[in-house]
Amino acid sequence: MRLHSNDQIAEGHVLVMQPGEVLLCRLAELIYEAGAGDDDTDMHVNPSDFAAAKAMWFEDKGSVQ
């Protein structure tokens, strides 16, 4: 899965693209379930949401910082 910053995406929303499938939804409502095809998945978020999306989906959880 790859995360991209895109100023054409409204704040608080995410565009998820997979081969043959496009999903546009609110970032807070997106539920990720790992599975086959993750390598072909692109997530596009507004630049103001990039850090939050990265923390939600791409960083280890449960560590004390």
List pLDDT tens digits, range 26-62: 988 887 676 666 788 899 999 999 998 888 776 665 5
With the CA atoms of 22, 32, 30 and 4 taken in that order, what torsion angle do they form, in degrees rounded to the nearest 10?
-60
What's the rounded Cα separation, in Å, for the pair 48 and 28?
14
What's the rounded Cα separation, in Å, for the pair 62 and 13?
25
3-state secondary structure at position 42: strand
pTM for the full predicted model: 0.78
